[in-house]
């Protein structure tokens, strides 16, 4: 099973694609910390069936690292979840807590950005703000007048509310436009995966007479669909 993991730490989010894992959950004998939250997806709908896990981690480097699984829950039909766990004495003094949301990477967009904070206190209830995990959409990019593009003369930056998504460089070649993107060096065509059902902003930089000329555009693509984008040099 393929999942996306969104790590909600003290003000930051990291994303990993990984498989299912097995670990041991701890019991809460009393003085429980309770975390209530809700996951949303496109159209502000609740994201049902996502797995939310809270970990305690204490990293020294490569030697002596510690991680404990504190609690796990599955979101209901409305996308809500509740986590209950006990914070041990050593966890109060060191390390940090992470909330990890696992969602299907085939349907939902992976990204990096800011997340809600979680302070390590016993016998405390937290109500986290709703967190959006958008569905996927695709944009097919075409530069029609490729022969006019100088070397490293055109860059496109796709950005949404969830941070930088794709940086695209377009160069001319004998056969047409050659695009260079992460994991797609020298690709003849580019299908950019973007967050669906929300504005995606496109920053295009063209090198003209030795100086950059920047234009801004935006588009919204429905979840699960493909939109074509023509960007002349």
The per-residue pLDDT for range 160-187, each reduced to its tens digit, is 776 656 677 766 555 555 555 433 444 4
- pLDDT-derived band at 189 (thresholds 50, 70, 90) equals low
Q: In the CATH scheme, what architecture does the domain 3-132 have?
A: Sandwich (2.60)
Residues 45-48: contacts with CB under 8 Å, at least 24 apart: 45/79, 46/75, 46/76, 46/77, 46/78, 46/79, 46/80, 47/75, 47/79, 47/103, 47/108, 47/133, 48/75, 48/76, 48/77, 48/78, 48/79
Q: Is the pLDDT of residue 23 over 80?
A: no
Query: Would you state the pLDDT for residue 46?
Result: 95
Lowest-pLDDT choice from 24-33, 73-82, 131-140, 175-184: 175-184
pTM for this model (two decimals): 0.70
Mean predicted lDDT score pLDDT of the chain = 75
Cα–Cα nearest to 131, from 112, 146, 116 = 116
Residue 104 and residue 4: Cα distance in Å, rounded? 6
Query: Would you state the pLDDT for residue 8?
Result: 43
Domain ranges within the chain, ordered by starting residue: 3-132, 136-230
Cα–Cα nearest to 156, from 84, 81, 215 = 215
Calculate mean pLDDT across residues 34-45.
Answer: 90
Q: Which fold has domain 136-230?
A: Immunoglobulin-like (2.60.40)
| Rounded alpha-carbon distances, angstroms, from residue 189 to 138, 207, 231 | 13, 21, 13
Calculate mean pLDDT across residues 9-32.
Answer: 54
Cα–Cα nearest to 64, from 88, 94, 87 = 94
Beta-bridge mates of residue 71: 54
- pLDDT-derived band at 72 (thresholds 50, 70, 90) equals very high
Identical fold at 3-132 and 136-230? Answer: yes
Q: Is the pLDDT of residue 155 over 90?
A: no
Q: Going along 86-161, which residue ranges are E strands?
A: 96-104, 125-127, 131-132, 136-142, 154-160
| Rounded alpha-carbon distances, angstroms, from residue 203 to 45, 66, 116, 221 | 29, 42, 28, 17
Calculate mean pLDDT across residues 44-66.
Answer: 82
Calculate mean pLDDT across residues 26-55.
Answer: 89
Lowest-pLDDT choice from 56-65, 76-85, 193-202: 56-65
Query: Would you state the pLDDT for residue 4?
Result: 40
Calculate mean pLDDT across residues 137-159.
Answer: 75
Residue 199 and residue 186: Cα distance in Å, rounded? 28
């Amino acid at each position: 099973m393929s999942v996306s993991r969104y790590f909600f730490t003290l003000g930051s989010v990291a994303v990993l694609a990984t498989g299912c894992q097995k670990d041991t959950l701890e019991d809460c004998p009393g003085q429980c910390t309770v975390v209530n939250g809700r996951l949303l997806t496109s159209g502000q709908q609740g994201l049902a069936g996502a797995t939310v896990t809270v970990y305690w981690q204490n990293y020294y480097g490569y030697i002596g690292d510690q991680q404990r699984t504190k609690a796990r829950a599955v979101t209901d039909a409305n996308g809500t979840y509740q986590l209950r766990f006990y914070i041990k004495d050593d966890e109060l003094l060191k390390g940090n807590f992470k909330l990890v949301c696992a969602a299907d990477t085939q349907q939902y967009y992976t990204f990096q950005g800011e997340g809600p904070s979680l302070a390590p206190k016993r016998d405390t209830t937290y109500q986290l703000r709703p967190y959006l995990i958008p569905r996927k959409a695709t944009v097919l990019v075409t530069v029609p007048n490729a022969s006019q593009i100088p070397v490293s003369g055109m860059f496109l930056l796709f950005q949404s509310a969830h941070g930088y998504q794709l940086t695209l460089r377009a160069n001319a070649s004998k056969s047409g436009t050659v695009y260079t993107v992460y994991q797609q060096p020298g690709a003849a065509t580019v299908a950019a995966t973007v967050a669906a059902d929300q504005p995606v902003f496109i920053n295009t930089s063209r090198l003209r007479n030795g100086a950059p000329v920047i234009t801004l555009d935006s588009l919204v693509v429905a979840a699960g669909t493909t939109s074509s984008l023509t960007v002349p040099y």
